[in-house]
């Protein structure tokens, strides 16, 4: 699902606000002058709070969360937008609103998935340059190798060391 539908990954789900800002912009450009502008402002406010999380107290963050939720309630209690892009966004936010502001009080949760996007970039470039894979097994092998290498890199291992560990049936992560 385009807004990060339930897929069983991760303990906490946070919808990427950068993608929602883009979609709100599209809805505004599509002619929505009701829901989308207010929602865009709300997202910008949430991002500004998120950028200051490190210097704010937990009680202040909880107050900000209540305020954002109240403002979202007002936006979502309005009429269904007429323009398709805004209607799609409105429905998604009604469905997934619980996953919109988790990052406010969870300091360990980012408000965008930019790190994930950057991690996927080499694979996307590889696919575009090579034209993809001719066989499904090739795609699976590439995905597995890329995952092992990325995991190894996160734990301070070279690509070769991570691949050797995986092929030997050892953990790719270094033990503490």
Give pLDDT tens digits for 5-49.
444 445 668 888 988 999 999 999 999 999 999 999 999 999 999
Work out the average pLDDT over 146-164: 87
The answer to whether position 4 is within a domain reads: no
The answer to whether position 89 is within a domain reads: yes
The answer to whether position 7 is within a domain reads: no
Q: What is the 3-state secondary structure (H, E, C) of 96-138?
A: HHHHCCHHHHCCCCCCCCHHHHHHHHHHHHHHHHHCCCCCHHH
Q: Read off the pLDDT of residues 113-137 as tens digits, 9 standing for 90 and up.
A: 766 666 667 777 777 788 888 888 8
Residues 23 and 84 in one domain: yes
The answer to whether position 9 is within a domain reads: no
Q: Which domain holds residue 151?
A: 114-167
Q: What is the pLDDT of residue 63?
A: 97
Q: What is the pLDDT of residue 70?
A: 97
Q: Long-range pairs for 5-14 at CB < 8 Å and ≥24 separation?
A: 5/96, 12/102, 12/106, 12/109, 13/99, 13/102, 14/99, 14/102, 14/103, 14/106, 14/109, 14/110, 14/111
Nearest to 92 by CA among 11, 16, 8, 10: 16
Instruction: Note whether 17 and 46 are within 8 A (CB).
Output: yes
The answer to whether position 2 is within a domain reads: no
Residues 75 and 101 in one domain: yes
Residues 46 and 93 in one domain: yes
Nearest to 35 by CA among 83, 69, 96: 83
The answer to whether position 172 is within a domain reads: no
The answer to whether position 176 is within a domain reads: no
Residues 147 and 125 in one domain: yes
**Cα separation of 53 and 104, whole Å?**
7
Residues 35 and 87 in one domain: yes
The answer to whether position 27 is within a domain reads: yes
Q: What is the pLDDT of residue 5?
A: 42
Residues 21 and 93 in one domain: yes
Domain count, the chain: 2
């Amino acid at each position: 699902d385009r807004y990060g539908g339930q897929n069983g990954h991760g303990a906490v789900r946070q919808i990427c606000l950068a993608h929602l800002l883009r979609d709100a912009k599209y809805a505004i450009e599509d002619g929505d002058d009701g829901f989308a502008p207010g929602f865009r402002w709300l997202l910008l406010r949430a991002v500004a709070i998120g950028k200051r999380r490190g210097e704010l107290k937990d009680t202040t963050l909880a107050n900000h969360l209540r305020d954002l939720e109240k403002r979202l309630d007002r936006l979502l209690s309005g009429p269904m937008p007429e323009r398709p892009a805004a209607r799609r966004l409105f429905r998604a936010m009604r469905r997934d609103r619980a996953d919109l502001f988790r990052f406010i009080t969870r300091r360990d949760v980012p408000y965008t998935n930019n790190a994930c996007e950057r991690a996927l970039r080499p694979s996307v470039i590889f696919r575009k340059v090579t034209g993809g894979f001719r066989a499904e097994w090739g795609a699976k092998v590439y995905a597995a190798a890329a995952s092992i290498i990325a995991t190894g890199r996160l734990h301070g291992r070279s690509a070769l060391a991570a691949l050797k560990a995986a092929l030997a049936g050892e953990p790719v992560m270094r033990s503490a």
